Structure 1
């Protein structure tokens, strides 16, 4: 207690740091409320106040009774302007520190003045609205900063500072003034380092580099040298303490201060060292649990999200060092506690960001940690083999094991980017918690376990996987401060879990590559509009096509194929329109993805059957009376069902993603769709090419085979155009879709969305509107439908060609290009059996007339 009072009294006195008047370095003054502040500079120099606050940011300053209930967020924004008006440009400045002169920003809280000033050769004044005749150059005190190309803390001479401002007028790049981490960073010349005093209540200096492009470094300011006075004191107490009770008191104070105070980067370094120094090598049963609880609680306080700014004060290497030290402290204190555990007992410490289980377990072939995972599946688990538990000594029947998991430490141990096979730099993130299991030996130390014959099995619960892919199982190399995959392998993964095998024990995690290819908001809105408008139009056209085939079609296998193709696309497009973004419920999203998978595959399968039917019509010598529809239905719906069933059995969790109700891409599950589609397109192209060859060969030689009539060839030629166009459209649509998924190109996104939305419109145009057979079937339907108006029936009759004489105009072309036998019957009638001269005359006349009008 006596020592604390002495320290408090010392802090209540005027503190001057970094005194070097000859060089004009920064001076820090701390004055308690009710006392007087006295600022002075040597002859020829002038006061320039840079930072000032009359309030409270720490418990330890000016608090002789160490009252922990005081507010530590008391800031008075008017302090700086008040004191700049009072003292800037003077040789000496004395004033009382109280509420009357500086204001009371925090009533009922004892305050202190924390001030930083400089002694400059240039007299600094603060501009006011009063007109003066002074010839002194007015410079904002905040502009007088240490700006250096090197890291040494030596102030530039005034001539250098003056030249910077003059160069700025000639276009030299500068970083603009900015307020960051309670420090006013001044205008700084490019490619130089600005050095400023640390925030009020801490000692040291902060640095921030102005890059060559005139922008502040994206790594942020380096406050690793900024250490609060209370954390410096606790570090000294931890290093000087000898008795366990002293260490326990230090840890208790660290736990309290880290819970209340806003830390700086230097505090993290100091406190991590203090925690490590406070853990005794040997513990007593009376205080072992208290040590473990305080260490874990302190680590949790330092790793929680509210302390993220402090971690940002450190560069990547220092951040990894602190994180490593904290995790090793948890292992160290847990190992000490484990020596006091009895067989088959477990001690658990659960905090928001850290969970620890210390157990003394009976050895089996594999033992799962933590024990809580036996009752709930919400934990990351480690299955440890017997050879690791026994430390390769079969005589050991029990093992002392420390299990720990860290949910937020991963953000402070991020891996470096890697270069992929294409030479592109890919960012990586830790996609899971950090998980560790350690075996404690008889000396109460963590035993190194490596090169196990039977692997350690780690099961991680996956976090959000938006824009993440390519999981890699890794372990933390505390010597190199980096993640390594040596000795670990990925066994399997899905949307919820990742399973790894490793041949040693340490700290583990899973890394994933980041592919940040989010489309801009404007493009997303436009693509959404195209999707809804296009799919709605497609659904309407598919319904019209089904209605036309049902009412006007004359039946047959081709109409059956068209009906089923339209039906599959209709269901797929409707489900796509209503359910592609329904990702809130994973079960429903998976079902929607499965339905889309099945019906899109079915649509491609029926398209393949259409190509087969065209080819079969040309090569079949004798028309069979038996219908092939049962085989078509079995193939058209059975094959997609087999593919979807096998895919579901292999990995049902890959139906549905975080963003869309579709198949996952990162684990190659999409191949269950791409593979069959590729096979179908190749086979369909083969059928269509063979069909096209037959048609072209018959057209070149000028006659048709005896087993085919002229109309069949003409109809096949017309149908072939539609089939080729459909294959091209569907194939091109999903080619654009796969390129969009792989390359995330905006152009590919628009192409895929547009083509996918217009498939129904294409089918309606090619197979209904522009189909001659449908025109004839429509005329037949109107003639035999009595309830239609007479005008429609008469128009249909006028457009019908004569059964004995060729019609003129378009009627001839339509009549002879249909797949009816009109053309063949006319040839037979005019030919009269094909043997007389009269028949030859009429055949020649008909042929010339037909060639002229067709």
Structure 2
């Protein structure tokens, strides 16, 4: 208003006041300025835990009211996944703060909580569905239980029993979804040999493992029968210590023969033996010869033979009845008794050999002396043994010959036999001799098939052919040329033939097979040809496993792939070392490159020559080359171990033994292979199936021996290295983790060099361990990979070398770039100077 004093009255525009801030659900407001609630004033919005606002501030508006804010619950989104279970929302439309979801686990699993909730941080709580636990298991008496993992759902428990016991009930139990083990715990009961009727018809009932049963002999026999139930629950062959009256009478008759016995007495005793052993007269199995009878009659034949040979009482009839009796003893119908005698270490078979040899000497003496009744030759052929004694006048000796005739079809085995003996006249010189040749049809169940010596060690072989006996008089110690023996195999699926002769034992020690002076000339699936420089009883022994099919496409594919992978990694290692040689050069690196080279050579020879059996010379060369290069591999590993041991022991030594180690590594294999070739005369280097060392005799040790020595030495080096590392102060100051890493690194460096995989190569041709072929092939592939990883990928020197090489190239690149830039700058400055001079000359001609 215009006032009386001529001035206008004043007016003020003040901020509207919004008053007290209203309440907010699940939150609160806080004034920015606690004393001001007018237009433009601000208030901070704070929501309770688990809630969030759409704005952080509100303001007093021009209409004197506060802006609105809302605290909404936070959202957790959809429920997460849970292994072996599921979540189910209580309210499918609500996944915000404090919402709940039920936890459901699959059968066999249980959760640590029944529900999860959406948390204040907008995440769901966690739950786990863990396998139900069935609890521990106790061991059964005389048994054990082994878990494949834990005792939780789906775990498997396998039960086993000690020797002589067998499980009754399920041997496997599974942890079920009910938290209980399936079935019931088995018990380990003593094994039982169940009711069994033997070849003679005697029923043995049931008996516990490890126990022996004794029974009386059948009617008509005196003595007893024993049979043992072995620990594995199988019956041992029965031992019939039973003798019938007829055999007892034979023994009495033989025992009654004195020094003054006549040919009639001897013939009568042999006739009794022939009759009692005649299998054609046996009406049933119970009448077959027992163990005791065979042993007694064998001894009786030996007694008769000694008497006949000593007193010269042999006649054609005595010889005929003697061989008839011997053939009867060796008949296949007595197989069970002979097998039982082998189990009991009886020497009955050896006595038969000895008796026949003695009678052969007696016949030879008669023929030598020209006694009446004996012509220039004597031939006796029976069902299981054949013999020929004849005079030879400076001519080749062959047995059997085609002109030998047989009396019955039962003797066709001899006429059709592909086994033979041949001695060249050159070995006899100018001497007229009397030869004795004997062939035993089948002694595989009669003579023990083992090369057993005084140490009791056996070679585990099989007698696979007839036994051939040959002798001459006058005796020749060393035959030149040697006698040739051809053996037709009884079984065609055996391998690794060994030409052997029977070495008679002493009374307290049984005889055994030996092979001194004999060697295999050729051998295939059906025939083995032997050469021996002396004369006695010969046979061929073969390994009791089937040769594996090294031509198998699967094995060959695995071998090629494995060796290819290994070769690639080894070549890659050579390339890396060549590129970084200035940084990684050391004695150990040189030894490693030599080892890699030897492995690459061995791979090439192995793939290209292991099956080159079509050419014997090539096959022998391949086998010898493989033997050499494998030995070189192991010697290089040994050199590596020696080098490491020297580095650890002689820390401050300045002299490098590298040259001596290389000469040793490549030179010693020459001695090993050369000596083996000289001793065996290449016998055992390759055969008709593979070009590798034979498993026969001890040839395998020419490879396995050095390999095992190297492995043992490197294990010792490894132990010493561990000991040395843990003794270092620096190691002691490192944390446990670093100590373990350092130890593992040393392990990774040494273990590949131990070459265990190559030891498996000796089993490459054994089908009974045919899986070794696949293991061998896979190990070949892994070996190269392992060497590359340990010596390149994990090698600190190589890593440092790559870094230094990168920096060197970078510095070189930077230097080149700097030089180029400097050259360009200089060139530009020169050009500018020339242009400047040109301009000055044009403006002032006096400037030159």
Calculate the TM-score normalised by the size of structure 1: 0.42
Q: Which has the higher helix share?
A: 1
- TM-score, normalised to structure 2, is 0.42
